């Protein structure tokens, strides 16, 4: 991003001194650092060249990098499944901060936070974009983000979200959790002490019911208050290097009213996203599954394009993929055929769990979708790290 920051900033100066000053003023007014503002400017403009490819935890571990259990793998500096396959890093890498709220040194996916911080900075330094999600625990029950089997949370008279809001029994405890999150985010700095810009994506997939902040576990007002409280704590901590993504799940369909039902507001959100996964119902063929996914995601992205224009926000598929990639031409025939139709900034696939048989979303050497992924990589409109550094 250093390069992007420099080039965008240079372009601003050359093209229009006034608009540069305006943008600088706007960034400061919004409490955003110039680097964060440049990241946002880049996300707003990049879709004219194509869309960026992203992968979760791309440089932390890979599908084949296993050493016994998931929790005891060996980190190999610089290795990345996507790069092993196509010779280039994803343009955007996502990291998850679950368990930072507990003050733990390991994330919920058994990755040391020190390593996450180091890899965030490393990707930024190589010219890439960094985004973060937060699968935090349940402050009411002590369970995980996933509430479906959390009987303590489900049976409690006080709902989890209500419990963390002002007046709730966990409000004070939750401020500590937010402060731990803020401390980590504020610590992601280059060796010169510059905080790197991060696209933060809290409270995602809230249109579903699987997380404790999901639709059936709080009212729209409470959900918006959760965002406001989160922003207040992060803003107060001085986290001016963050920009924010809103990412409902596919349940919103093509209906902008549903999409925006719990929207925290234009002042709190910078990018409009959707998390969209392909899956097959029992007995469903790949052909039918691909067609259903394409139809649903195209409908959502058409709606999102209109909403993005209206709210003046860039749009992206903040999570996507087909677990195990069982269709070998998925990259060109499904992913690209959808993403290339819409002005999306990026599409990001989820993680390749260490050694897991099915829980992987990007190819690794030997995977049957590798030849198709290389075709996908070679398309002019798919932007990987080298493409965004050229700009």
Interface contacts to ligand BMA, rule CB under 6 A: 96, 98, 108-109, 135, 350-351
**43 in Cβ contact with 343 (< 8 Å):** no
**Of 256, 311, 300, 241, the residue nearest 275 (C-alpha):** 300
Taking the least distance from each CB to ligand BMA, the nearer of 23 and 131 is 131
- Which are the contacts of 134, defined by CB distance < 8 A and separation ≥ 6? 96, 97, 98, 100, 101, 181, 200, 201, 202
Taking the least distance from each CB to ligand BMA, the nearer of 135 and 292 is 135
- Look up residue 359 and give its DSSP letter: -
CB of 106 to ligand BMA, least distance (A): 12
CB of 245 to ligand BMA, least distance (A): 16
Taking the least distance from each CB to ligand BMA, the nearer of 41 and 80 is 80
Taking the least distance from each CB to ligand BMA, the nearer of 96 and 225 is 96
Taking the least distance from each CB to ligand BMA, the nearer of 34 and 93 is 93
CB of 98 to ligand BMA, least distance (A): 6
CB of 108 to ligand BMA, least distance (A): 5
* Cross-strand bridge partners of residue 200: 132, 244
**Of 133, 273, 117, the residue nearest 196 (C-alpha):** 117
CA angle 86, 90, 94 (to 5 degrees): 145
**101 in Cβ contact with 144 (< 8 Å):** no
- Look up residue 194 and give its DSSP letter: P
**Axis crossing angle, helix 171-186 with helix 220-236, rounded to the nearest 10:** 50
Taking the least distance from each CB to ligand BMA, the nearer of 202 and 308 is 202
Nearest-CB residue to ligand BMA? 96
Alpha-carbon dihedral of residues 47, 199, 348, 315, nearest 10 degrees? Answer: -40
CB of 95 to ligand BMA, least distance (A): 9
CB of 361 to ligand BMA, least distance (A): 9
């Amino acid at each position: 991003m250093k390069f992007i920051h420099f080039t965008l900033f240079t372009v601003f100066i050359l093209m229009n001194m006034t608009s540069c000053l305006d943008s600088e003023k706007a960034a400061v007014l919004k409490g955003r650092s110039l680097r964060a503002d440049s990241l946002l400017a880049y996300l707003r403009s990049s879709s004219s060249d194509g869309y960026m490819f992203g992968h979760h935890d791309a440089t932390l571990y890979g599908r084949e990098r296993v050493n016994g259990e998931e929790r005891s793998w060996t980190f190999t500096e610089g290795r990345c499944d996507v790069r092993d396959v196509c010779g280039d890093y994803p343009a955007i890498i996502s990291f998850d901060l679950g368990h930072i709220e507990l003050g733990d040194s390991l994330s919920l996916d058994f990755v040391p936070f020190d390593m996450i911080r180091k890899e965030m900075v490393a990707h930024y330094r190589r010219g890439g974009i960094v985004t973060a999600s937060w699968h935090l625990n349940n402050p009411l029950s002590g369970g995980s983000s996933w509430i479906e089997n959390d009987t303590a949370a489900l049976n409690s008279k006080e709902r989890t979200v209500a419990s963390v809001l002002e007046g709730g029994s966990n409000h004070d405890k939750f401020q500590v959790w937010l402060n731990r999150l803020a401390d980590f985010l504020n610590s992601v700095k280059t060796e010169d002490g510059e905080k790197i810009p991060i696209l933060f994506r809290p409270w995602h997939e809230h249109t579903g019911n699987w997380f404790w902040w999901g639709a059936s576990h709080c009212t729209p007002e409470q959900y918006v208050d959760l965002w406001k409280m989160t922003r207040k704590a992060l803003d107060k901590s001085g986290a001016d290097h963050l920009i924010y993504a809103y990412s409902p799940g596919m349940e919103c369909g093509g209906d902008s009213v549903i999409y925006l039902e719990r929207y925290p507001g234009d002042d709190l959100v910078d990018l409009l996203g959707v998390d969209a996964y392909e899956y097959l119902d029992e007995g469903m063929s790949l052909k039918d599954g691909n067609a259903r996914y394409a139809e649903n995601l195209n409908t959502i992205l058409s709606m999102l394009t209109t909403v993005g224009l209206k709210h003046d926000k860039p749009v992206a598929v903040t999570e996507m993929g087909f677990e195990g990639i069982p269709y070998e031409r998925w990259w060109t025939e499904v992913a690209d055929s959808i993403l290339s139709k819409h002005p999306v900034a990026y599409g990001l696939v989820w993680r390749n769990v260490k050694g897991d048989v099915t829980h992987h979303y990007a190819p690794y050497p030997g995977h049957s979708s590798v030849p198709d992924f290389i075709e996908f990589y070679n398309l002019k409109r798919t932007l990987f790290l080298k493409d965004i550094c050229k700009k």
